Structure 1
Amino acid sequence: MDDMTRIVGHVMTPTFEDIPRQAIERAKLSILDTLASAIGGSDDPIAHSVRRLGGLSGGKQECTIWVTGEKLPVLSAALVNSATSRVLDFDETYEIYINGCHASAYDVPPALVLAERDPSISGAELLAAVATAIDLHLRLARSITSNCGDTGRDNLVAVWGAAAACTRLLRLNEEQTRNAFGIAYAHAAGERQMYEEVTHVVALQQGLRARSGMESAFAASVGLNGPHEPLFGKYGFYRAFEPDHDLESLLDGLGDEYLNASISFKPWPSCRATHRGISGILELRERHDFQGDDIEAIEMGLNRHAESLVVQPRDQKWNPRDSVTARFSLPYVVAVAAAKGTVGIGDLRPEAFDDPSVRRIMAATTVEIDPEITRLNARRGNSPTRVKAILKDGAEHEVVVDTPFGHPDNPASLSDAMRKLESCAEMAARPFTGLQIEAIGDFVTNLDAAPSVAPLFELLAPSTSTGRA
């Protein structure tokens, strides 16, 4: 059996019962986390703009835009819900891959959109599709051995994760699935310049690829074909775009080991490369019993790749004036954590940027490339981080953090995702009741027993018309 046939079979063949229980339970967490991130991000200016974009094309009102409750055509709904899941940079990520990979925000929303469009899709069918799509997405991502900070190519494989979820839920046959993957190759895209210039595309790309993956599956369903060797052919993806790759990372354990269980939960709404710094200062605060007012200075060290993402350009990262810059600013979010004991959604909004307690600590924060961390972890995008707190009384406390909370070696649970959902609901564009939030959590927790996913979508749009949508 050739490699592409193996991949197509992996997408199509496994039933719910064939998939390891750990992967199914982790898929529940991915769904709940994605919903929480979208609900929390629904009042962000980028989310407002994305909803306006989704509404421009008109069309059949068939699928729910989460939180606001408006109905859009299925492709537009996939774009809007996926992008909204990413606007806060609160969604989970595959941090043990050298480049990081936000697979869930690409793959979960289109799966949910199709489950609303077709009420015959069961909860078990949805979970199997999500676990399989994220597994394939992560396998494709980890097969790329070059660092996107060097090449400028960022997560070009994402379209195949979304396509995998959609081909399963549209119940395509083998020929159609191969064609969908070939058509998806025409949509493959991903670039690093969006991070360099700190643009809205950081979030919008999730919506674009979710829509592209779904559109590829639809195109195959109506008889359009595409290349049958989009990955391994003479001009396939690996030869044309990623010559530095490791096919063993893609194929080893395919069908037996599901990588979605290795994805990381994010407790704070900022780039995961900042979480070791946040975790470090919070650990020092708790261990040595000091507050923000006690801090004289903070010193941090990390590797070059992480430094280029969350420290450069320094004039912007020490003076964020927009939410996207703040989410990718290590000195800012660590200063927030040092001053307040946590980092919340409200701390990443422009009205919070001039908090004098945060400004004082940020001005006293230095970040440098650490030679030893770089020597041992040169290629990792999510670098271990050294954090030193220098206190006004002369005391100095230091820690190096490598597996912050949410890492697969320090994992989160469904209960953690539920608490995240509750806190995100407080920032939603329209208010949710406590009973609604509890019902969302209960439904996702018991999704494998649901004959249809349809009841979930009534819970995702508050019935009240008040709010800021």
Structure 2
Amino acid sequence: MTERTPSTPVVAGQPPSRLQQADTIARTLAGFTHRLQLAQVPEPVALRARHLMLDAIGCALAARRQPFAERFTSAVQALASSAVGAAGGATGRAVMGHDRRLPLRDAALLNGVLAHGLDYDDTHMAGIIHLTVSVLPTVLALGAQCGASGAEMLTAYIAGVECGARIASVTRGGLHAHGFHPTGVVGAMASALAAGRLLGLDEDGLVRAQGAALSMAGGSLQFIEDGAWTKRFHPGWAAQAAITAAMFAAHGIDAPAEAYEGRYGFYRLYMGEAQHAGIDLSLGTAGLSANGQASTWETENVAIKPFPVCHFIHASADAAIALRAAVGDPARIARVEVRVPAGVVPAVCEPQEGKRQPRTDYDAKFSLPYGVASGLLRGRLGLQELEPAAFTEPAALALMQRVHYVVDEASTFPRHYTGEVRVTLDDGRTLSHREPVNRGHAERPLSNAEVRDKFLANATLCFPAAHAAQVCDAVLTLDRAADAAALEALLARDPSLH
């Protein structure tokens, strides 16, 4: 790297007496992040990491002309233009699919919105979290700002994903139960570690970065109630918070040392004391050591989505698609029973009448009745099926009224996001199909070739095939790039200029 911070050199640690109080999780994750070397990462893991990055970039490029993307872009640009000394032109940081640049944190914010906005991005299953869409915008913006190489950017990304997956896995769905979106709250903690790595923080500095991020992490699930757009900015907000937290740490700003296990630390704060008593804190560092070594790699357990809807719906949608041919005429369906894990009910099943009448694309993305109805009616659930004409179609609305859920006591959730669909026809016959392991899961993954195909399909919605192929090659060879800014520059293209 040619630069560690935009202005001031990194400040070495805090008094030893305070830092020795750092909890086990914060200290171990800091040590792992500080000492991780790309050469020690198994090549299949590093290759999969590049494909995860590619998938998120494809989602961002596909979102380029969506109404939500245009409104968020306008809002963030207005914030940037109102800032004193706002960076523009070649001096700012790139936004994927745009030729105008923005100040560092604004670019990270908007890139997070674009990558997550279609809800087509990856999910770490055990943690129930979208990690790439906060970590990637962080390392994309900060890596270019710091003059990092492609390998350094990739290493920071892997560190963020590995740490974030473990932080989230401790909760076992408990954040959702308390109304918090893990992508926002855990994303800030994980991305702070990735940001600190690129800023060259030592182990003590990375402990402080986590402590600072604790006061910045947020994300409410209230959007589920009315299909609001707030979920879309959670990962971008986490990225901008992470950059701020890491920069504070780089300048020696004091922060809590017990970010996770403290009296008001992460798990008690976001889960409550009663639920905290039942968690296994050892999961927060499982398979990692402070010397930069890992015995297991959670990057391999990140699932890539085959459908642009909430991951909780995928297995049921696939089951419905599998039944479509046997059902024949959907008008003959008298009743549909969908067996789902108890943990997904609040997000995609309730309130039932609201889920049966989606008003917005985001309503539809979180509607189990719609995902199943689309599968039974059309045999597909893609971006086209998230258009208003599709989810307000009379046949779809009528079928959704006949979709009912029951809790599946045999589900292996959250290890798998299971789904089973049972269709009763008007002659009394019953047809059923079960998906015990959702497609895209680590035990049933999309291959790297399938991820590449998904990227090309997404990227070419707004951009020519030649540009998509160029981006694909740049991401998949990132570990050999001398300058991370080259990828950033390639992504800073507007579709209207092609």
TM-score when normalising by structure 1: 0.90
Counterpart-to-counterpart distance in 2, 1:312 and 1:43: 31
2:134 is the counterpart of 1:124 = no
CA change 1:144–1:64 in 2 (3 A) is: same
How far does residue 96 in structure 1 lie from its aligned partner after superposition?
Answer: 3.0
2:210 is the counterpart of 1:188 = no
SS in 2 for 1:284: helix
Q: How does 1:99-248 map to 2 (within 5 A)?
A: 100-118=128-146, 120-145=147-172, 147-155=174-182, 156-242=185-271, 243=273, 244=276, 245-248=279-282
1:30 to 52, 57, 78: 52
How far does residue 395 in structure 1 lie from its aligned partner after superposition?
Answer: 4.8
SS in 1 for 2:99: coil
Q: How does 1:274-289 map to 2 (within 5 A)?
A: 274-285=313-324, 288=326
User: What corresponds to 1:337 in structure 2?
Assistant: 375
User: What corresponds to 1:273 in structure 2?
Assistant: 312
Q: Match for 2:68: what amino acid?
A: I
Q: How does 1:437-456 map to 2 (within 5 A)?
A: 437-456=468-487
2:337–2:406 Cα contact (<8 Å) kept: no
Q: Match for 2:53: what amino acid?
A: I
User: What corresponds to 1:57 in structure 2?
Assistant: 80
Counterpart-to-counterpart distance in 2, 1:160 and 1:228: 13
1:162–1:213 Cα contact (<8 Å) kept: yes
SS in 2 for 1:199: coil
1:30–1:108 Cα contact (<8 Å) kept: no
User: What corresponds to 2:287 in structure 1?
Assistant: 253
Further displaced range: 288-297 or 411-420: 288-297
SS in 2 for 1:159: helix
CA change 1:464–1:30 in 2 (3 A) is: closer
Counterpart-to-counterpart distance in 1, 2:282 and 2:205: 26
1:115–1:169 Cα contact (<8 Å) kept: yes
Q: Match for 2:80: what amino acid?
A: S
Counterpart-to-counterpart distance in 2, 1:18 and 1:170: 21
CA change 1:233–1:360 in 2 (3 A) is: closer
2:98 is the counterpart of 1:68 = yes
2:168–2:186 Cα contact (<8 Å) kept: yes
SS in 2 for 1:260: helix
Further displaced range: 301-310 or 123-132: 301-310
Please report the RMSD computed on the Cα atoms of aligned residues, expressed in angstroms: 2.5
Q: Match for 1:283: what amino acid?
A: A
2:96 is the counterpart of 1:96 = no
1:367 to 391, 404, 416: 404
CA change 1:450–1:433 in 2 (3 A) is: same
1:404–1:410 Cα contact (<8 Å) kept: yes
1:304–1:378 Cα contact (<8 Å) kept: no
Counterpart-to-counterpart distance in 1, 2:217 and 2:494: 38
Q: Match for 2:149: what amino acid?
A: S
2:418–2:438 Cα contact (<8 Å) kept: no
2:37 is the counterpart of 1:15 = yes
SS in 1 for 2:432: strand
Kindly, what percent of the aligned residue pairs are identical?
26
1:44–1:87 Cα contact (<8 Å) kept: no
How far does residue 60 in structure 1 lie from its aligned partner after superposition?
Answer: 0.7
CA change 1:241–1:277 in 2 (3 A) is: closer
Further displaced range: 292-301 or 22-31: 292-301
Q: Match for 2:122: what amino acid?
A: E
User: What corresponds to 1:422 in structure 2?
Assistant: 456
Q: Match for 1:217: what amino acid?
A: A
Counterpart-to-counterpart distance in 2, 1:33 and 1:306: 25
CA change 1:5–1:301 in 2 (3 A) is: closer
Cα deviation 1:212-254 (Å, max 9, x = unaligned): 0111112222332212222233443234444423111112211
Counterpart-to-counterpart distance in 1, 2:387 and 2:145: 34
CA change 1:416–1:294 in 2 (3 A) is: farther
CA change 1:426–1:440 in 2 (3 A) is: closer
SS in 2 for 1:439: helix
**Unaligned residue ranges in structure 1 (runs of 5+):** none
Q: Match for 2:367: what amino acid?
A: S
TM-score when normalising by structure 2: 0.85
Q: Match for 1:90: what amino acid?
A: Y
Cα deviation 1:59-90 (Å, max 9, x = unaligned): 11211111122210010000000012111111
How far does residue 263 in structure 1 lie from its aligned partner after superposition?
Answer: 1.0
1:48 to 70, 74, 89: 70
How far does residue 35 in structure 1 lie from its aligned partner after superposition?
Answer: 0.5
User: What corresponds to 1:83 in structure 2?
Assistant: 113
User: What corresponds to 1:347 in structure 2?
Assistant: 385
2:340 is the counterpart of 1:302 = yes
Cα deviation 1:279-325 (Å, max 9, x = unaligned): 10122236x48475775653312233322211212222111111110
Further displaced range: 6-15 or 197-206: 197-206
Q: How many residues align?
A: 456
2:443 is the counterpart of 1:409 = yes
Cα deviation 1:257-290 (Å, max 9, x = unaligned): 221210111011000111011110122236x484
Q: Match for 1:66: what amino acid?
A: M
Counterpart-to-counterpart distance in 2, 1:378 and 1:13: 35
1:115–1:454 Cα contact (<8 Å) kept: yes
SS in 1 for 2:80: coil
